[in-house]
């Protein structure tokens, strides 16, 4: 699914391209959930910048639902925490 918006200057902006999460944030989330083994594995398997849609299979491997990241990682605009 691709979402496009128009900026005030008339240029199109691809919101999906902007959804990148730093690997360290995901590792910290796993550690905070007591999943040290998953955190260690994620450290070696995830790219430095994670696209939740593109890497959903890897995130699922570590027990993370990409849609849940919005509320669990600060700065992603979620409603909750």
What does the pLDDT average to over 70-76? Answer: 68
What does the pLDDT average to over 14-42? Answer: 86
Instruction: For the chain, give the mean pLDDT.
Output: 77
Q: Are the beta carbons of 50 and 6 closer than 8 angstroms?
A: no
Tokens at 20, concatenated: 């990148």
What DSSP element (H or E) covers 6? strand 4-6
Please tell me the pTM assigned to this model: 0.66
Q: How sure is the predictor about 66, in pLDDT bands with cuts at 50, 70 and 90?
A: confident
Tokens at 56, concatenated: 């959903």
CB proximity list for 31: less than 8 A, separation 6 or greater? 39
Other Cβ atoms closer than 10 A to 50 = 23
φ/ψ of 14, rounded to 5, equals -90, 105
Place of tokens 């939740």: 52
């Amino acid at each position: 699914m691709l979402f496009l918006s128009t900026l005030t200057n008339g240029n199109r902006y691809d919101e999906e391209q902007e959804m990148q999460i730093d690997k360290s944030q995901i590792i910290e989330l796993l550690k905070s959930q007591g999943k040290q083994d998953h955190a260690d594995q994620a450290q070696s398997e995830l790219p430095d910048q994670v696209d939740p849609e593109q890497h959903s299979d890897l995130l699922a491997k570590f027990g993370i639902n990409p849609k849940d990241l919005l509320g669990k990682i600060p700065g992603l605009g979620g409603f909750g925490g």
